[in-house]
Amino acid sequence: MSTRIALSSKVNVLEQVKQEGVDVNICCGVGICGSCRATLVAGVVEYEEPPIACIGPKEVVLCCIKLVTPVVVIEI
């Protein structure tokens, strides 16, 4: 089962996901393990440092993304 969440740039990404009641597996917190990966549905994100985890073309690692657009939609 997947959940779609609209994220706002005003609040930390992981906090928003938790507020939606989604239990996200966060092991490393720095983009190494990829356990917090999600699918980017709409919007633009960026990383300060690219994650080391192998991710697909539409996947993002929630622990280290920053929102570029005011609203981003992800699917977990």
Measured on CA atoms in the order 41, 12, 64, 8, is the torsion positive or negative? positive
Distance CA 76, CA 68 (A): 19
Region 25-51: mean pLDDT is: 91
Region 36-54: mean pLDDT is: 92
For the chain, the structural domain boundaries read 4-75
Structure tokens at 27: 């092991």
pLDDT band at 26 (very low <50, low <70, confident <90, very high): confident
Question: Which option is the CATH number for 4-75: 3.90.1330.10, 3.65.10.10, 2.130.10.10, 3.10.20.30?
Answer: 3.10.20.30
Asked if 44 and 68 touch (Cβ cutoff 8 Å), the reply is yes
pLDDT of res. 1 = 60
pLDDT of res. 25 = 83
Residue 10 has pLDDT above 80, yes or no: no
Asked if 8 and 73 touch (Cβ cutoff 8 Å), the reply is no
Mean pLDDT of the chain: 90
